[in-house]
Amino acid sequence: MSHTPGPWEAKAPVEHGAHVYGPHGVTVAWCGTNSTFKRAGYYSISMEESGANARLIAAAPELLEALIAMLSNTPDCDHVARAAIAKATGGAA
């Protein structure tokens, strides 16, 4: 398993979406607000939803660390898990 090492940081959404950056300012993900055609018509992701998607993606390294800690039964598991949840949701866990 290989991925860009954390921490990752979600930036506030700009005109067409939100970036997630890894170390050294490398873009890890782009959460756009582009429209997609569905059977019922066009669907567009809002700026709020784009920002929430970016925060969830940015929390991925910490969420992985928390799951590994849970499986390892380490004492720091609760703290790591709560910090990852807060980062993913944009608030306190």
pLDDT at position 12: 84
Give the chain's mean pLDDT: 82
Q: Which domain holds residue 74?
A: 9-89
Q: Using the 8-state DSSP alphabet, how is residue 90 labeled?
A: T
Percent of the residues in the chain that have a pLDDT greater than 90, as a whole number: 26
pLDDT of 1 higher than 60: no
Structurally, the chain folds into a number of domains equal to: 1
- Rounded to an integer, what distance in angstroms lies between the CA atom of residue 37 and that of residue 41? 6
Q: Which residues contact 91 (CB under 8 A, 6 or more apart)?
A: none
Q: For the chain, where are the alpha helices, taking DSSP H only?
A: 47-58, 60-72, 77-89
Cα–Cα distance between 22 and 24 in angstroms, integer?
6
Is the residue at 38 inside a domain?
A: yes
Residue 4 lies in a domain: no
For residue 45, tell me if it sits in a domain. yes
pLDDT tens, position by position, 30-73: 988 876 656 666 667 888 888 999 999 999 998 888 887 777 77
| pTM recorded for the entire structure | 0.72
In a domain, 51, yes or no: yes
Asked, for residue 3, whether it belongs to a domain, the answer is no
Task: Judge whether 41 lies within some domain.
Answer: yes
Structure tokens at 73: 């039964």
Structural domain contains residue 1: no
